[in-house]
Amino acid sequence: MLLEGTLERITFQSDDDGYLVARLTPSGKAYLVTIVGKLIGVRPGETLSLEGEWQEHREHGRQFLVSGYHTLMPATIDGMRRYLGSGLIKGVGPSTAKKITETFGKYTLDVLDREPDRLVEVPGLGRRKVEVIKAAWRSQQQIKEVMLFLQDLGLPTGLAVRIYKQYGDAAMAVVRDTPYRLADEVYGIGFLTADKIAAGLGVAPDDPQRIGAGLRHTLGQATDDGHCYLPAGELTRRATDILDITEDLAAEGLQLQIADCRLQVDGEPGSQSTIYNLQSAIYLPPLAMAETGVAAAIIRQARAPSDIAGFYAQARWGDVFAHLAERREIRLSERQQDAVRMALTSKVSVLTGGPGTGKTMTLRAVTVLLAARGYRCLLASPTGRAAKRLTEATGAPARTIHRLLEYAPGASGLFRRNADWPLECDLLVIDEVSMLDVLLANHLLKALPPQAHLLLVGDADQLPSVGPGRVLRDLLDSGAVPSVHLHEIFRQAAGSGIAESARRINLGEPPEFSGHSDFFFFAAAEAERCAQMVVELVAERIPRRFGLDPRRDIQVLSPTHKGPAGVLQLNKLLQEALNPEAPGKIEKRFGMSLFRTGDRVIQQRNNYDLDVYNGDVGVVAAIDHGEEQLHVQFEDGRSVPYDFAILDELALAYALSVHKSQGGEYPAIVLPMLMQHYAMLQRNLLYTAVTRARQLAVIAGDRRAVARAVANHEVQDRYSGLAGRLRGGR
């Protein structure tokens, strides 16, 4: 059955697959009907020719279920006005659309298509605004073409905007001619999506391009799990499962990828070797460059001369520490004194220890001593939350590593600070170094001036970095640099149940939940009940008893993303409890996510263009549907605008995964732990979660899950060559 009419308004639309519910005026009629189905990129004001059938919905009544359609551009001036003013073109609202249609009448769309420079004839439109409208109109036509192509392949149409943003007017040509480029170059498009596009274009399963892309994808998946490389035999075995090809074909493909320098053997940059065996380490080139770069920089830095080390090698340390105690009220234990001596006499050193063991006081001593002699100290951490906490703890300004290195759009190597323009410091302190992956470590070390000392501070018992590598553990295992481990808990005398429980967990002993005023357990072994308990604790019990703000002071952490007590479901429940729908609160739905003004959100990847980074947390300050932007006020005070097209970079942050919480410290944490989380129940995960709490830690769930986590000290090892390179001096 055919139905033709004008689209009046869209009630709901999915950014993933284009499914919508909308109201349409049938041609020649004066009433509205409801249409439902997958209609890609349609806008109010368009005339649509629809194929489908009428159906009676139990709750919503009569609807037209669309099975196919094509767009007829608006034929009436009123239709054109509504079409242009519907948000189709960024910066063109209803008033500008009215001016354009009043100027060109029924020829409006022809002018936009064929003579867009004539837009200068519209009153109030300057040349700059005209250029913006021209570019937006052209991009919309290109995006719609890509959307329709993806729809034919049964793929998410929301990817079209990203593809166009990456390739511009060449987007469709790239999709048709070199689909596997999408997996390498477009965020949000993995190998499986590119492979589906390629299959739709007739690319054979044994095509060398497909096998090469599959091998790179397999290695990329391994780096997502923290590995820097995979042994060749394991790489080809994993790839055969993904590609559904023989190991012989995978091995041939690997040989070609090595010959083309798309993959590297044993990670030696510049090596022309194409010879490998099943145990050879196979790297993606950026990881090979980063790992060898970090090893070389550590060795080079450690050997370079230092004025600081020369001076303090002759120091009368008894007088130094007495002065700190008398004049600065900085009293140090023997181990802390060892750490201070190490930091000032060794060019590269590592300070480790759990919560409450005095790492911060040791840092204060180091920075105070150097500042007194006019030496310059810089402090940084991998995340904004960790940098803010470091500033509060030491009294010295600290920044994120990304901002320390000064990202520069379009600059070679991403950062302004590098070997050609190094940091201006005599000592660089990096806190929470367990979070530091090998890629960021390489950028950091490039920017370190040769004379400077480097002090790396962290807790080796926490979860490893989200990114590839295990920099802190490799440094300790290699023995290539001196280190001090602090173990005495200074907070224990003050009755800190958090610090004592963390110590017990680390020793493999179950935490004690009784007798503490800052550490509690609430039984709720069934998943749905546990989720309800978490919401009740956050929204009611903790604020009532401890006076904490549930939206600012309490952070829910979960071992997993999925499930009734996982991050995704808890965020929905907490959003409903803490920031419910209300008059004046503006909303934006993006895929499966719903954002509302006042929501707490987290950035999920590094976006160098916006100067926001994975783990940055803020609040949705405004949502502008006219400009198609959502504004986030971050903890550092900056307001950052997000185009609607990139909202998948944000997620609600009422609940975070334990991994995402690394580097943060919160007044209170609430942690659900259930046997359903079995695969994630590990000692370092529980330890990391508990040590995020500053004043209060609450676990809700099943005591068996806590016991399982404490007992499980088996952590999946990572393939990393850094320790071996450091031991070998290369």
Asked if 280 and 295 count as a contact pair (C-beta separation under 8 A), the reply is no
**pLDDT at position 272 over 70:** no
DSSP 291-338: HHHHHHHHHHHHHS--HHHHHHTT--HHHHHHHHHHHH-----HHHHH
Structure tokens at 157: 């149409």
Residue 596 forms beta bridges with which residues?
A: 587
Mean pLDDT of 477-501: 82
Mean pLDDT of 45-60: 87
Query: What separation, in Å, do the N-terminal and C-terminal C-alpha atoms of the chain show?
Result: 72
Structure tokens at 69: 């359609």
- pLDDT tens per residue, range 363-376: 999 999 999 999 99
Cα separation of 366 and 360, whole Å? Answer: 10
- Of 353, 321, 612, the residue nearest 459 (C-alpha): 353
What contacts 520, CB < 8 A, 6 or more positions away? 513, 696, 697, 698, 699
Q: Going edge to edge, which strands form the sheet with 639-643?
A: 639-643, 629-634, 617-624, 600-603, 650-652
**pLDDT at position 270 over 50:** no
Asked if 46 and 74 count as a contact pair (C-beta separation under 8 A), the reply is yes
- pLDDT tens per residue, range 285-311: 999 999 999 999 999 999 999 999 999
Structure tokens at 528: 């749905």
Query: E strands, 550-628, where?
Result: 554-558, 587-590, 593-596, 600-603, 617-624
595-610 in b/e form (b: 16+ CB < 10 A) is: bbbbbbbbbeebbeeb
What contacts 235, CB < 8 A, 6 or more positions away? 215, 218, 219, 222, 254, 282
Amino acid in the structure at residue 491: R
Cα separation of 160 and 150, whole Å? Answer: 8
How many C-beta atoms lie closer than 10 Å to residue 260's C-beta?
A: 11
**pLDDT at position 492 over 50:** no
What pLDDT sits at residue 722? 96
Cα separation of 310 and 577, whole Å? Answer: 60
Mean pLDDT of 60-73: 84
Q: What is the DSSP letter of 119?
A: G
- Of 698, 707, 706, the residue nearest 536 (C-alpha): 698
Amino acid in the structure at residue 394: T
Structure tokens at 568: 């995704």
- pLDDT tens per residue, range 161-215: 778 778 888 888 888 889 999 988 887 788 988 998 899 889 999 999 999 999 9
Structure tokens at 22: 């909308």
What pLDDT sits at residue 495? 63
Query: Which of the pair, 144 or 727, is modelled with greater confidence?
Result: 727
Cα separation of 562 and 160, whole Å? Answer: 27
DSSP 259-272: HTTSSEETT-TT--
Cα separation of 350 and 472, whole Å? Answer: 8
What pLDDT sits at residue 88? 63
For all residues of the chain together, what is the average pLDDT? 89
Helix (H) or strand (E) holding 639: strand 639-643
209 burial level (CB within 10 Å; 0-12, 13-18, 19+):
middle
What contacts 51, CB < 8 A, 6 or more positions away? 1, 2, 66, 67, 68, 69
Q: What is the DSSP letter of 376?
A: -
**pLDDT at position 134 over 80:** yes
- pLDDT tens per residue, range 75-120: 778 878 877 776 667 667 788 889 999 999 988 888 888 898 999 8
Cα separation of 188 and 13, whole Å? Answer: 20
**pLDDT at position 331 over 90:** yes
496 burial level (CB within 10 Å; 0-12, 13-18, 19+):
buried
Per 3-state DSSP, the chain is made up of helix, strand and coil in percentages (nearest 5) of 45, 20, 35
Rounded to 10 degrees, what is the CA torsion of 87, 91, 96, 98? -10
- Of 469, 462, 474, the residue nearest 431 (C-alpha): 462
What pLDDT sits at residue 673? 96
In this prediction the pTM is 0.79
According to DSSP, the β-strands at 693-701 and 519-523 are: parallel
Amino acid in the structure at residue 574: L
552 burial level (CB within 10 Å; 0-12, 13-18, 19+):
exposed
Cα separation of 603 and 612, whole Å? Answer: 7
Asked if 150 and 144 count as a contact pair (C-beta separation under 8 A), the reply is no
What pLDDT sits at residue 457? 96
Query: Which of the pair, 495 or 666, is modelled with greater confidence?
Result: 666
Cα separation of 606 and 436, whole Å? Answer: 14
**pLDDT at position 336 over 80:** yes
Amino acid in the structure at residue 662: Q
- pLDDT tens per residue, range 402-431: 999 998 765 556 789 999 999 999 999 999
244 burial level (CB within 10 Å; 0-12, 13-18, 19+):
exposed
What contacts 642, CB < 8 A, 6 or more positions away? 610, 629, 630, 631, 632, 649, 650
- Of 20, 45, 14, the residue nearest 35 (C-alpha): 20
